[in-house]
C-alpha cells in the first residue's frame, strides 16, 4: 500500500477543488481515462440513464486499473436516473407548437394525432391541475393546463412559449406534487448493481424532500453492503429548495443540478439558488458539487466562452467542493482538454476562496469529529496559516478528521493518509484534501512524518525550510492523545 502517486507531479499542484467527469463514448478507453486522471479527475460519474451493465462494469474495472497504475485513489459516482418524465412517440416524430395552439396529454405512450401528446409518466393527467405549467424540450416549450376531462382521460393545454418538440424529449412539471416515488423500479435495479460494484457515491435524481433520501438509505441498508456509499442528493426541483435543510441533514453530499433546476425554477433565479445552496452546504459541512453546462461549448470547441470560465470560477469562489463535467467528457471532442481547462480555472480562483468561521457552522453532531479532534483541527489550520506552512498532514481512519480540516477552507493543502481504500476514495470529494493510502496511519506521528517528508521530496512538494503541520496521535503514559506537531525540514 505504499503510495507512488504520480498525479501531483502531472497536475503540478496538490488538489483543492475536485473535478468530476462523466464517462461516455468519448472517454471509454483506458488510455483516455488514464489521461483524465493525470489531468485532474478525482471522481468519475456513471450515468445510469445510459449504458448497459456490461459496458458500465468494464468502465469500473478500467477506472480502478488506472487508479492502481497511477497510485492515486479515484472515486466512482453512480447516478440513479430517478423519475425522469419523457414524451412518448409523436406522430411524425416531431411537432411545431405555435403560441396559443391547443394540445392534449392523453394516456398511453403513442398517438396518431400530433396534437395528442403522451408521456412515460401515466399519472401526469391525475397530478396536474388547471393553471399548472408543463414544460417540454428542456423548458424551451411551455404550456398551461386549462381543461381536464371529467373522466380524467386527458388534459388540454395551451402553448405559452412556442417551439418544436420531438419524441422522447423531457417533460418537467414545476410545482406539481408528483405521486410517483423518487426511487423507481429501474433505480432499485441500478442501486443493487452499484452496491455489488462497491461504488463510492450514489446520486439520487429529482429529490423532492428529505424522505426521498431516507428511503434511499433504507434501501442501501437492506442490502447490507460491504462498502456503504455516500448518498448525493441532486437538487433540481423547487420542492427540494423548500425542504433543503432537512435534506442536508439526511444526505451525505449535494449536487446543484442546474439543468433541470433551470427548467423547474425561473431560469433567472438559478444563479441565486446555486449560491444559496452552496452556502447552506458549507454551513452544514456537506460536500457540494456544482454541475451542468459548466464548459458546455467545449463539447465542440477547443476553448470555453468567457462566460463559462467566469461561471466555473464563481462556483469555486462561492465554496463548491467539486465541479462536474457532463457531455464535455462523455461525448465531447476533447475530454482531456476540458479537464485541464477546468483545473486551470479552479487553480486561478482558489486563492480567492474565503476561510470559514466554523463557529457559524450548523452541522449536526454526527457530522463533527470528536470535540478534542475539532479543537486540534482548528489549531492545525491556525498554525499552518500563521507559519505559512507548505502542507497539513492528517492520519485518518474514517476520513472525519480530514473532513473537519476541509470545512475550514484553509489556504494550506491537506494530505490525508488512511489505510482504507474506501475512505481514500470517499475523500476524493473533500475540498483541499489529497488522499494517500498507507499503513502508517496506525503508527506513530514520527513514523508518519518521516513518510511524508520522503513523499514530499519525491514529488517536489517539500524542500529544505518547508514547514509541515501534522495532525496525528501519540501514545503517552499508555494513553492515546491527539496532537498537532510542526516540523521544519532541515
β-pair partners for 318:
none
Q: What region does 387 belong to: left with phi over 0, alpha with psi -120 to 50, or beta?
A: alpha
Written as nine digits, the cell of 469 is 503541520
Which residue of the set 45, 208, 285, 407 is catalytic? 45
Based on the residue annotation, tell me whether 407 is a catalytic residue of this protein.
no
Based on the residue annotation, tell me whether 292 is a catalytic residue of this protein.
yes
Q: How far is CA 339 from the centre of its chain?
A: 15
What residue spans of 225-297 are helical by DSSP H? Answer: 238-242, 244-250, 258-264, 270-283
Task: State how far the Cα of 462 lies from the Cα of 391, in Å rounded to an integer.
Answer: 8
Which residue of the set 86, 148, 275, 368 is catalytic? 86
- Cα dist. 136→11, 96, 139, 169, 262 in Å? 41, 12, 5, 7, 13
- Cα dist. 106→91, 93, 132, 181, 241 in Å? 14, 17, 16, 22, 31
Which residue of the set 292, 320, 377, 401 is catalytic? 292
Task: State how far the Cα of 33 lies from the Cα of 46, in Å rounded to an integer.
Answer: 13
In 193-349, which ranges are E strands? 201-204, 230-235, 253-257, 288-291, 322-325
381 membership: H or E segment, kind and range: helix 371-386
Based on the residue annotation, tell me whether 86 is a catalytic residue of this protein.
yes
Q: Are 330 and 23 in contact (CB under 8 A)?
A: yes
| Catalytic (active-site) positions | 45, 86, 234, 292
Amino acid at each position: 500500500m505504499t503510495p507512488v502517486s504520480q498525479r501531483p507531479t502531472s497536475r503540478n499542484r496538490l488538489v483543492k477543488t475536485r473535478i468530476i467527469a462523466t464517462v461516455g463514448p468519448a472517454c471509454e478507453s483506458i488510455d483516455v481515462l488514464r489521461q483524465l486522471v493525470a489531468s485532474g479527475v478525482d471522481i468519475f460519474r456513471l450515468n445510469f440513464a445510459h449504458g448497459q451493465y456490461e459496458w458500465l462494469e468494464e468502465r469500473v474495472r478500467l477506472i480502478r486499473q488506472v487508479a492502481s497504475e497511477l497510485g492515486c485513489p479515484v472515486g466512482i459516482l453512480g447516478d440513479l436516473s430517478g423519475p425522469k418524465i419523457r414524451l412518448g412517440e409523436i406522430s411524425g416524430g416531431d411537432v411545431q407548437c405555435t403560441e396559443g395552439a391547443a394540445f392534449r396529454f392523453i394516456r398511453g405512450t403513442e398517438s396518431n394525432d400530433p396534437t395528442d401528446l403522451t408521456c412515460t409518466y401515466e399519472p401526469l393527467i391525475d397530478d396536474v391541475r388547471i393553471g399548472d405549467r408543463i414544460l417540454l424540450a428542456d423548458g424551451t416549450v411551455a404550456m398551461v393546463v386549462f381543461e381536464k376531462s371529467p373522466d380524467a382521460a386527458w388534459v388540454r393545454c395551451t402553448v405559452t412559449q412556442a417551439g418544436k418538440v420531438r419524441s422522447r424529449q423531457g417533460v418537467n412539471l414545476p410545482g406539481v406534487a408528483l405521486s410517483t416515488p423518487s426511487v423507481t423500479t429501474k433505480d432499485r435495479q441500478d442501486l443493487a448493481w452499484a452496491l455489488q460494484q462497491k461504488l463510492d457515491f450514489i446520486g439520487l435524481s429529482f429529490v423532492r424532500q428529505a424522505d426521498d433520501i431516507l428511503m434511499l438509505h433504507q434501501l442501501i441498508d437492506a442490502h447490507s453492503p460491504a462498502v456503504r456509499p455516500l448518498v448525493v442528493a441532486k437538487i433540481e426541483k423547487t420542492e427540494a429548495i423548500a425542504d433543503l435543510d432537512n435534506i442536508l441533514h439526511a444526505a451525505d453530499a449535494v449536487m446543484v443540478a442546474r439543468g433541470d433546476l433551470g427548467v423547474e425554477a425561473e431560469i433567472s433565479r438559478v444563479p441565486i439558488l446555486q449560491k444559496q445552496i452552496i452556502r447552506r452546504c458549507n454551513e452544514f459541512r456537506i460536500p457540494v458539487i456544482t454541475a451542468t453546462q459548466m464548459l458546455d461549448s467545449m463539447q465542440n470547441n477547443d476553448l470555453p466562452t468567457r462566460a463559462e470560465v467566469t461561471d466555473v470560477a464563481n462556483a469555486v469562489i462561492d465554496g463548491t467542493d467539486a465541479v462536474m463535467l457532463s457531455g464535455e467528457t462523455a461525448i465531447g471532442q476533447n475530454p482531456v482538454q476540458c479537464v485541464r481547462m477546468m483545473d486551470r480555472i479552479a487553480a486561478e480562483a482558489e486563492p480567492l476562496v474565503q476561510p470559514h468561521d466554523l463557529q457559524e457552522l450548523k452541522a449536526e453532531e454526527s457530522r463533527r469529529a470528536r470535540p478534542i479532534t475539532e479543537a486540534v483541527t482548528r489549531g492545525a489550520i491556525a498554525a499552518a496559516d500563521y507559519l505559512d506552512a507548505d502542507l497539513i498532514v492528517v492520519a485518518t481512519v474514517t476520513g472525519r478528521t480530514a473532513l473537519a480540516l476541509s470545512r475550514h477552507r484553509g489556504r494550506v493543502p491537506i494530505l490525508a493518509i488512511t489505510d482504507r481504500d474506501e475512505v481514500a476514495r470517499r475523500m476524493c470529494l473533500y475540498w483541499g484534501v489529497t488522499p494517500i493510502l498507507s499503513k502508517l496511519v496506525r503508527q506513530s506521528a514520527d513514523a508518519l512524518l518521516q513518510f511524508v517528508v520522503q513523499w514530499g521530496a519525491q514529488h517536489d512538494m517539500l524542500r529544505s525550510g518547508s514547514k509541515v503541520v501534522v495532525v496525528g496521535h501519540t501514545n503517552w503514559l499508555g494513553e492515546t492523545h491527539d496532537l498537532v506537531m510542526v516540523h521544519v525540514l532541515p
